Structures are given as C-alpha cells and as structure tokens.
Amino acid sequence: METTMTLNLTVQDAPCGALVQGLNLSQPLGAAASQAIREAWLKHQVLAFVDQSMSLDDLERFALTIGPYGVDPYFESVSGHPHVAQVKREADETSTLFADNFHSDWSFLASPPAATLLYGDVIPPVGGDTLFANQYHAWDALSPAMKVLLLDKQGVHSARRGYAKTGRYGEQDKGRSMAIRYDDSALATQLHPIARRHPETGRTALFVSPGYTIGIDGLPDDEAQALLRELFQHQARPEFVYAHRWQAGTLLLWDNRCLVHAATGGYDGHRRLLHRITVGERGPR
C-alpha cells in the first residue's frame, strides 16, 4: 500500500533546512511523493522528517528512493543490514567526540555519496546538535579574485587524518562504542574540484573541508595550507550555518554535494544512537 502524499514543509529561518510533516515513511512512497521530496531536498539541502517510527527495513527502502546505496569504507555495518551503520555514543563514554569537524561525507572517494540519511533512535535531552554549512552560499560570498584563483584548482582529499592507523580513530583510539575500522587505505588521496558544480542543480559549491582536504593540487604545501585555512574559516561563517536540534523519531536527509556538516557534544552522561545510510548518485532516468 502506498502512503498518500502530504508534503507539508516548514522552512527553517536559516541558510538551509526544512521540516517535513505529514508523511509516514514506514510505508512505501508513491512516485509523486518521492519526486516532491527530491525537489524539496534539492531546494533546501537538508530535510528533517519528524515524528517517524522506522525500522531498518523502512530506512533502507526510503534510501533507495533517493539513489543507490553508497559505501561506508571505515564503518562496520549492522548485522543483516550491510548498508546501515550505527552512530553511537554510550552514556559513560570518554572517547573524543566523533565527526566534530566540518566535512562532506567520504569526500576522499572517487565518487563521494550524494546524500546521507541519519535516523534518531535514542536522542539525549540536551546537546548533540548537527551543524550544516551551506557551501553554495560560501562560494557565492567569496571575492571575485578568490573565485578566479580557485576555479581551476583541485583539492586533495584523504581519509588519513581520521581512519589511518595513526589517525584520530586509529589504533590509539580506545573505548569507543562506534564500530570503526581503520585501515592503511585511508592514506590514499583523491582530487576533486574546489569549485564543484552540483550535478542536479548546476550551482557551484565550495568543496573543501578540514575533515578530509589535506592539500591543493599543484600548490606548494605551505601555500596550500594557508589558503585552505582561509577557506575553512570562511566556509563555517555563522551566516552559512544551520544548527539542527534532534528529536527521537526524526530522519535527516542531506546533500553532501553542497553542504559540510559537523557533530556537537554537550550530552555527556546520556546515550545517543542513530542509524545511517549513505546514498550514491542516481543515474539518468
């Protein structure tokens, strides 16, 4: 049975983001509802579907309405659900906060994911906001001279700072409840345009992040690092950032091609559990 489409949007007073009410994502969606969701997602970059009660099967089914499954190279999956990972922190956990620097998910891959889905199962009563920075706005706000400088440049992306043996989540990372697997493959690098054209909207977004961008192709490292520090500071300016406050039963869908995001803490002493799927680019229809 298909759910009846009722796409009620409340646009956030922020540079991106909208709340979606009136859909039951535990039921299959029809073509009209799926298309309406996609249009809203491309327009607002982050959609929060509130008051949902979703199983992992529901989450997987919804993900496939957005695109094919992506890959999570350094996460263990949930048993029986090879494309679902847990983002978890126990109440007594003392490890460093996971993913608290701005990044676009898995941008070090040759084909990074288009979207990420994150469903809130156990949400603390305080803290834990997810920050999203609109990189269309970040690009548009650069000076004309900076745009000219960056138009033909490619960023060097790598997972090494997080997922190499010596990385933040490597062999020295103890007591973490998330199932992260570090690997020497994280030392590899991948080039992507710094001025990245979105394949669906055609808009240009700034595509660098302190999480995964380690250099600029063709520039000496000292010049590249100075320029990247300037871009990292610029891309996270408050006027570009939406802070999403979580509630249990919320499903977030965001666009990795034009956003960077970061986790925040502030919920020590409380358990937090979310389930996540990354989604690849959808082929032509």
Q: How many domains does the chain have?
A: 1
The predicted-structure confidence for 260-281, as pLDDT tens digits, reads as follows 999 999 999 999 999 999 999 9
What is d(CA 66, CA 209) in angstroms, rounded to the nearest whole number? 24
Residue 284 within a domain: no
* pLDDT (0 to 100) of residue 3: 42
* pLDDT (0 to 100) of residue 6: 54
- Cβ contacts of residue 82 below 8 Å, gap of 6+? none
| Percent of the chain clearing pLDDT 90 (strictly above) | 96
| Residue 142, CA distances (Å) to 43, 73, 135 in order | 21, 33, 11
* pLDDT grade for 2, boundaries at 50, 70 and 90: very low
Contact 39, 201 (CB under 8 A): no
What is d(CA 140, CA 134) in angstroms, rounded to the nearest whole number? 10
* pLDDT (0 to 100) of residue 54: 98
* pLDDT (0 to 100) of residue 284: 66
Residue 21 within a domain: yes
* pLDDT (0 to 100) of residue 285: 56
| pTM of the predicted protein model | 0.96
Residue 3 within a domain: no
Provide the CATH number for the domain around residue 171. Answer: 3.60.130.10
283 pLDDT above the threshold of 90: no
- Give the range of the structural domain holding residue 271, as residue numbers without chain letter: 8-279
Residue 261 within a domain: yes
Residue 222 within a domain: yes
The predicted-structure confidence for 44-101, as pLDDT tens digits, reads as follows 999 999 999 999 999 999 999 999 999 999 999 999 999 999 999 999 999 999 999 9
Residue 2 within a domain: no
- Helix ranges (H only) for 114-216 are 135-140, 144-150, 160-163
Amino acid at site 261: H
- Which of 76, 124, 67 has its CA nearest to residue 280? 67
What is d(CA 26, CA 41) in angstroms, rounded to the nearest whole number? 19
* Average pLDDT of the residues in 246-263: 98
What is d(CA 75, CA 64) in angstroms, rounded to the nearest whole number? 20
